[in-house]
Each structure stands twice: as C-alpha cells, then as structure tokens.
C-alpha cells in the first residue's frame, strides 16, 4: 500500500507541475502569435507607405532643425521592431516551457514504465492509467497552443518587405474559425477526427484499465478500433507536408508551433498506453489503489 501511496503523491506532483507548464506553453505561444499578427499589421502595404512617408518627413524636419541646434541621439526602435522583439522573447519563453514540459513528461513516463510497471502486481494497469492522464495533458496543449503560422509577403522596392496575409492558429482555433465562417462540414470533420475520436480512444483506454474479464477484452477491442479512426498521425503528417510545400514558395513562409509537437506527443503516449495495457490480465485493480 505504501508503494501505491508514493505513486499517488508522485503522480499528483507531476500533474500539478505539468498543468502549470502546459498553461505557460499555451500562454506564451498565444502571446507570440498575437505579437506576430500585430507586426504583420504594421507591415501591410498601406502601413509601410504611411511609415515611409512619415519617416521621410521626419528626416527632412530633423535635417532642417539641425542647422539651428545639435542633432538628437538616434530615435528608439519603432513600433514594428519593438513588436518583433517582444514576439521573439515570448517565443523563447514558450520554447523553454515546452522543453521543461517534455522533459518532465519523459521522466514521469520512465518512472511509470521502469519503476511502477515491474514493481507492483497491478503495475501494468496503473502504468497505462497514468499514461492516459499524461496524454490528456499533452492533448490539451496540442489543441490549444499555436500549431502553425503562415505568412504571405513580397519584397518591394524602397519600402521593403510587405505582408499581405498572416495567420497563426491552433487546432481548436482553426475548427472554431471554420464553423464561424460557414464551413460547417469541414469543421465538423476535423473536429471529429482530431478531437472527438482521440478523446474517445483515451476514455476507452482508461476504462479498460478498470474493466475485468470479458469487459476488459471488449474495451481493448474498442481501443484498437478507435485508434484506426483517430487519424492523428495523418493529421500531423499533413501539417508537416503542407509546411514543406509552403516553404518552397518565395512569397510565403510557414513555421510550426508547439501545438503540432505536443499533439504528436499525445499520439505517441496514447499509443504506448494501449500497447502497455494490451499485456495486462483481466484482473481488476482496486479502486483505491491508483
């Protein structure tokens, strides 16, 4: 019983830390996307022309006033440069939190697989159950954090780089935008394939850790069938391929956000949970032992 108590304490501490790190990843990646969007708004053709005219006028005025007074020190960075610098800082924080979250998840999974699974009689089921909890954290980050940033731009004489369109979306935000724009069928399809089925599979796996006898076998069959329809790996591959296709265009650019990586991590962990559980017996685990 002491071993189960230590596992409960370790699991609670880990998931508390993981929840905070997950929030930080979503928070800073969203802040970075917001700043990048603002920087893109400052780089539109209208904004660039206005900025160029204003700067030229300011230089002319400064040159005229320099005949009567000492020139002032160089002006501070303009709003665009400040916004880009702020976006880079937020991106570094999101990356740091992502690394910390990934490291803590890897450590906890190693503890489950190499420490809990072989040490306890019900270790296989407990290992799979806590892997379900961990994969849920990864899933929430994967659908909430920024998944991809797309930029359409063109280099123009004198005024430099002009941005015509900027999009930074996560999976959940993309689905919401599809519904709001009237693409109900496509939005519903992505909702079912990337959110509903993965969650359904996760719930089935968790239930299988509690079931016994024929119910356990039935639950495992349902987990296998749900995995075939989750389409998670297809989604990740499609995003990566689209990024390569976009990067091949001189007028567009794309960067992958933490949402894709954590969604892929969810796919791997949930798959491992099913593999670990497939080797368990149909003997139930007591309700108070997890």
**Is 90 exceeded by the pLDDT of residue 106?**
yes
What is the number of residues in the chain?
290
77-114 b/e with 16+ CB inside 10 Å = b?
eeebeebbebbeebbebbeebbebbbebbeebbebbbe
Q: What is the pLDDT of residue 215?
A: 74
Token pair belonging to 180:
């709001």
If one counts every other C-beta atom within 10 angstroms of the C-beta of residue 278, the result is: 13
Distance CA 142, CA 108 (A): 19
Per-residue pLDDT tens over the stretch 227-247: 666 555 556 556 555 555 555
The domain of 245 spans 2-289
User: Between 258-278 and 197-208, two packed helices, what is the crossing angle to 10 degrees?
Assistant: 30
DSSP state of 212: -
Count of structural domains, the chain: 1
Distance CA 6, CA 289 (A): 11
Per-residue pLDDT tens over the stretch 122-175: 888 889 899 999 999 999 999 899 888 877 777 777 666 677 777 888 888 888
Q: Among 73-82, 124-133, 269-278, where is mean pLDDT lowest?
A: 73-82
If one counts every other C-beta atom within 10 angstroms of the C-beta of residue 139, the result is: 24
Distance CA 84, CA 228 (A): 42
Per-residue pLDDT tens over the stretch 17-72: 999 999 999 999 999 999 988 888 777 766 655 655 556 555 555 555 555 555 45
Percent of all residues in the chain with a pLDDT value above 90, rounded to a whole number? 22
């Amino acid at each position: 019983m002491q071993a189960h108590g230590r596992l409960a304490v370790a699991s609670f501490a880990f998931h508390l830390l993981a929840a905070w790190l997950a929030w930080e990843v979503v928070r800073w990646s969203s802040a970075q996307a917001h700043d990048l969007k603002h920087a893109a708004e400052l780089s539109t053709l209208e904004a660039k022309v206005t900025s160029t005219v204003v700067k030229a006028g300011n230089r002319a005025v400064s040159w005229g006033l320099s005949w009567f007074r000492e020139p002032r020190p160089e002006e501070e960075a303009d709003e665009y440069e400040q916004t880009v610098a702020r976006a880079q800082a937020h991106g570094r924080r999101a990356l740091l939190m992502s690394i910390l979250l990934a490291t803590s998840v890897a450590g906890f999974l190693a503890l489950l697989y190499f420490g809990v699974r072989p040490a306890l009689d019900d270790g296989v089921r407990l290992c799979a159950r806590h892997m379900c909890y961990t994969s849920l954290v990864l899933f929430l980050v994967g659908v909430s954090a920024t998944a991809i940033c797309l930029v359409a731009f063109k280099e123009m004489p004198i005024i430099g780089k002009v941005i015509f369109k900027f999009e930074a979306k996560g999976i959940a935000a993309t689905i919401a935008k599809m519904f709001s724009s009237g693409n109900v069928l496509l939005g519903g399809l992505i909702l079912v394939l990337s959110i509903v089925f993965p969650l359904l599979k996760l719930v089935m796996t968790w239930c299988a850790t509690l079931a016994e006898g024929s119910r356990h076998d039935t639950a495992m069959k349902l987990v296998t069938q749900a995995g075939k329809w989750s389409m998670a790996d297809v989604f990740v591959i499609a995003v990566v391929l689209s990024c390569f296709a976009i990067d091949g265009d001189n007028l567009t650019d794309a960067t992958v956000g933490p949402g894709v990586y954590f969604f892929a991590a969810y796919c791997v962990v949930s798959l491992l949970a099913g593999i670990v559980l497939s080797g368990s017996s149909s003997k139930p685990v007591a309700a108070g032992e997890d």
